[in-house]
Amino acid sequence: MKSTFKVLAIISVALLLFTGCRTAAVYNVVEQPTRVKNDVTNDKIFKAIKTAGLSLGWQVRKVKDGLAEAQLNIRTHMALVEIPYTHDSFSINYKNSANLNYDATKGTIHNNYNGWVQNLRNAITLQISALE
């Protein structure tokens, strides 16, 4: 009877460990449409992206006009994305990561990464829509 409980306990712990480390296909945002007036400058678009990222803990910097880079550090995990933007759209593309089980050959990463990028997309969309 005790050995049955030990086996069940070991299986339960193993299942918890494996479900906590699930991977999924890397989620990239491809040309998310924006509706920005022509008189809105690229600097204002960048500031909206930066405000959105900062609100979620991302560190955002301008690489050049029309391209931002954002990094999120959570405990021992790091995600780095590129954010190209224009008046018509923005994208969020995976660039690098640490401790997120990224597999370039399979195109997979820890499932939490995708949630972080989706939240960033939503926040950027909200901030850019406020520019109107």
The CA distance from 9 to 57, in Å, is 37
Instruction: Look at 54 and 25; give whichever has higher pLDDT.
Output: 54
- Around Cβ 97, how many Cβ atoms within 10 Å? 19
Q: Which fold has domain 23-129?
A: TATA-Binding Protein (3.30.310)
- Of the pLDDT bands very low, low, confident and very high (cuts 50, 70, 90), residue 122 is very high
Give backbone dihedrals phi and psi of 63, rounded to 5 degrees, phi first.
Answer: -85, -45
DSSP 115-129: HHHHHHHHHHHHHHH
- Is the pLDDT assigned to residue 18 strictly greater than 70? no
Query: From residue 104, how far is each of 76, 88, 109, 117 by CA, in Å?
Result: 20, 30, 9, 18
- Around Cβ 124, how many Cβ atoms within 10 Å? 29
Is 103 in contact with 23 (CB distance < 8 Å)?
A: yes
* Token pair belonging to 22: 């699930």
Mean pLDDT, rounded, for 37-42: 84
Which residue ranges make up each domain of the chain?
23-129
Name residue 23's amino acid.
T
Does the global pTM surpass 0.85?
no
- Of the pLDDT bands very low, low, confident and very high (cuts 50, 70, 90), residue 6 is low
- Selection from 85, 80, 66 nearest residue 117 by Cα: 80
Give backbone dihedrals phi and psi of 128, rounded to 5 degrees, phi first.
Answer: -70, -35
Name residue 6's amino acid.
K
The model's pLDDT over 93-113, given as tens digits with 9 standing for 90+, comes to 999 999 898 989 888 999 999
The CA distance from 117 to 23, in Å, is 14
